[in-house]
Amino acid sequence: MKKRTVFANLLAPLLFSVFLLSACNPYERPLTVGAAPWPSFEFLFLAEQLGYLPETQYSLFELPSSTSVIQAFQTGKLDVAFLSLDEVLTLVALGINLKIVTVIDQSVGGDALLVKPEIKTLQDLKWRSIGYENKAAGALLLDETFTLSGLNNQTIQLVEVKQSEAKDVYMQGNIDGLIVREPEKQQLLALGARELLNSSVLQQRITHLIVVRDDIFVSKEQQITHLLKQYYQAYHYYLSNEKDAITTMAVRLQVYPYLLEASFKGTFFIKPKDALMRLSGSPSNIELQANQLSQFMTEKNMLGKIPNNFKSIITTRILERVIYE
């Protein structure tokens, strides 16, 4: 009994010290950040590989498709998501409270209609099939295809194909055309596909953003600010060390460096000060875009009930801290 008492007397102060340390340094769950494959999103993972984002503070997830990112964000598994504007509008229509914190880029050819080598013109698609994902980017390109060719959904067979399945579908040869985005676009071109149309011709640009859950925006502002700073720092590293950055990113993605390098040509990266301008004003550039796009998506039965005023989902606070602090 005496030995146990002595041991207990020695252990008690140790346990009390551990309790005090735990109280002073409570465990904080890492910020969960997710994105699907897209060239400008890759700077997030480059930042991690360069050691800019400590694992204790950030957990990064590359998901197979933007649909997976939407679902993870909707269910609270992601705090921060990299998405296109139409995907953000889909979340808003589902009643998810979020904030747009920056504008990353615009697609200027990164989304495209690719076809089998023997198809030379849009008119050659008559009575043939096109595979596409039923999202605004695909719908915008499909609309442009119909406008330029005079074809319609009565003269072209439309098939639902997810981006992550595009390469396999093309290699099977059962579909004549596919609407895809980078980096899948470069992979299909390397396999012999022909490009007939891309997003550079669209009046309504496909825009990519970073969004944060409302509750996280309030409680993790410092951490989100640091995330954006390091994301832009990785972009600057890419500008200064392009060959090394491309190689690092290509190894992670398991693609040839020259294909990844080509995929960046289809994007127009928006620098922080320009992004701030797009989020500022009343109405802001992004508000105007959101209004136009939501109208288009509603007409195509891609959106449910959605607010007319998008000002409440936009914040410049994080970006101002990134630029000026």
pLDDT (tens, 9 = 90+) of the chain, 325 residues, equals 433 343 344 444 444 444 444 444 555 789 999 999 999 999 999 999 999 999 999 999 999 889 899 999 999 999 999 999 999 999 999 999 999 999 999 999 999 999 999 999 999 999 999 999 888 888 899 999 999 999 998 999 999 998 888 889 999 999 999 999 999 999 999 999 999 999 999 988 999 999 999 999 989 999 999 999 999 999 999 999 999 999 999 999 999 999 999 999 999 999 999 999 999 999 999 999 999 999 998 888 888 777 778 999 999 999 999 999 9
Which residues 6+ apart lie within 8 Å of 186 measured at CB? Answer: 255, 259, 260, 262, 263
pLDDT for the residue 27: 58
pLDDT for the residue 221: 96
Which residues 6+ apart lie within 8 Å of 286 measured at CB? Answer: 85, 100, 103, 207, 209, 278, 279, 310, 314
What domains sit in the chain, N to C, each tagged with a CATH number? 31-106+206-324 (3.40.190.10), 111-201 (3.40.190.10)
pLDDT for the residue 4: 37
Encoding tokens for residue 225? 């600010």
Q: How many residues does the chain have?
A: 325
pLDDT for the residue 26: 57
Question: What is the 8-class DSSP label of residue 30?
Answer: P
Q: Is 246:55 a contact under the CB 8 Å cutoff?
A: no
Sheet holding 129-132, edge to edge: 157-160, 129-132, 177-181, 111-115, 194-198
pLDDT for the residue 16: 46
Among candidates 249, 186, 227, which has minimal Cα distance to 40? 249
Residue 101 to residue 229: CA distance in whole angstroms: 12
* C-alpha distances out from residue 2 to 9, 15, 192, Å: 11, 20, 83
DSSP string, 169-220: HHHHT--SEEEEETTHHHHHHHTT-EEEEEGGG-SS-EEEEEEEEHHHHHH-
pLDDT for the residue 12: 45
pLDDT for the residue 7: 35
What single-letter amino acid sits at 57?
Q
